[in-house]
Structure 1
């Protein structure tokens, strides 16, 4: 496992810590104690370094598995994240069912940032995955960004930009759940560390919402853990996991 070469701990332990931190909204010191109860003596500063290195890598490797909108009706909004005492802006896009499509952390809130975010979100999607409707708040920046993306051929000409406040209740509620994970951090030091950590939060939120359910062999929390481990070549393949599960189920059936 070259991804964990020269690390004092095994890859399973490192991914275990990163998953717990990004999924449950605990502080680094609390996680240090939780791991100590399980016989893993690791300092909270080491866990921090693990999160900074591996949370973005997990999100990158699993991106193709969870990032597929279930609807062409999107909800786009931004929320505030404090970085070194200054508010920054986390742009987010969900479909109408609440599935995360993409996100982007920006130091500014203007048409340029909105365009950069929407361009990133549209990039890599198939034509049938691109939005028929994008619902936003009343901020004029989104209208400018969408118009420019249409002119550049990056957004379908038929995409309707709608500004209906109550339709964004889905994404506003999801902001709150994400903030529960961010709260124990008590402020990020830099934009880079903030974005690295948030990538882990967003990825684990997507898995928790079942966005990679097709790859979750056991359809439970253990299956989520295996999705992450397989991305780093730890343990058996998904096919081997499925075969083993079927074998266990057959053994449990009465003769």
Structure 2
């Protein structure tokens, strides 16, 4: 992992890292993070926290992404409408069958070109040839699978068959409400690109494991975060 350079910042690395973690890990606004810091005796402005999130969020996410094991070969793709700056855009999302977020892409269209862009990014970033690609019945997916020669692996179905991707949208919907809508396509994409790897690191699904198993996985997640935020 690449160490992160926190030099020339007035606050120590531990404070910056904690603020970034709270913002991405929980459904908190910048103002919420500011108040949590103030309760702990750290007086920092909202603008400083916003700058930390923009600067260090992608660096931490990239380190976490590099250290994650490869995703499974069964992918679930879905798209939902989002309002960004008063405009109607589409949030394309891909997860594997264990809930790992593979990629999130904010696009202007809900067509073959948009679906093709997402699939090509997935193939390039994961380096995998999927065993199956589960989608809804949008015709753009069928056209895209033909271009990529994945027709035999395409599994179009209804909402029930693609529950994994549908449920994955809920976390972003909560964040969208907390932030009172994303302000621009660029800011939405920046946030979502950093949020995905951080969400993956702490998505432990405690309802499926024992308490002892949860403690083990939580410790591993904290160790991964510590390694990803190691200062230069």
Q: TM-score, normalised by structure 2?
A: 0.85
Distance 1:67 1:190 in 2: 32
Distance 1:180 1:46 in 2: 24
Higher relative CO (CA 8 A, sep ≥ 6), structure 1 or 2? 2
Deviations 1:159-194 (A, max 9, x none): 421211111011111211232233211122222211
CA gap of 1:227–1:45, structure 2 versus 1, over 3 A, is same
What root-mean-square deviation, in Å, do the aligned CA atoms of Structure 1 and Structure 2 show? 2.3
Deviation at 1:67, TM superposition (A): 6.1
Partner of residue 43 from structure 1, selected from 45, 62, 75:
45
Aligned pairs for 1:159-170 within 5 A: 159-165=152-158, 166-170=160-164
The answer to whether 1:181 aligns with 2:180 is no
For structure 2, list consecutive stretches of 5 or more residues without a partner in the other structure: 206-214
Aligned equivalent of 1:196: 190
The aligned length equals 220
Deviation at 1:209, TM superposition (A): 2.0
What secondary structure is seen at the aligned counterpart in 1 of 2:137?
coil
Deviations 1:17-61 (A, max 9, x none): 111111111111111111111111111122112111222222222
Aligned equivalent of 1:25: 27
CA gap of 1:168–1:197, structure 2 versus 1, over 3 A, is same
What secondary structure is seen at the aligned counterpart in 1 of 2:89?
strand
Preserved contact between residue 64 and residue 198 of structure 2 (Cα < 8 Å): no
**Moved runs in structure 1, 4+ residues, more than 4 A?**
220-223
CA gap of 1:160–1:47, structure 2 versus 1, over 3 A, is same
Preserved contact between residue 73 and residue 132 of structure 1 (Cα < 8 Å): yes
Give the structure with higher Rg (CA): 1
Preserved contact between residue 52 and residue 193 of structure 1 (Cα < 8 Å): no
For structure 1, list consecutive stretches of 5 or more residues without a partner in the other structure: 151-156, 212-217, 236-255
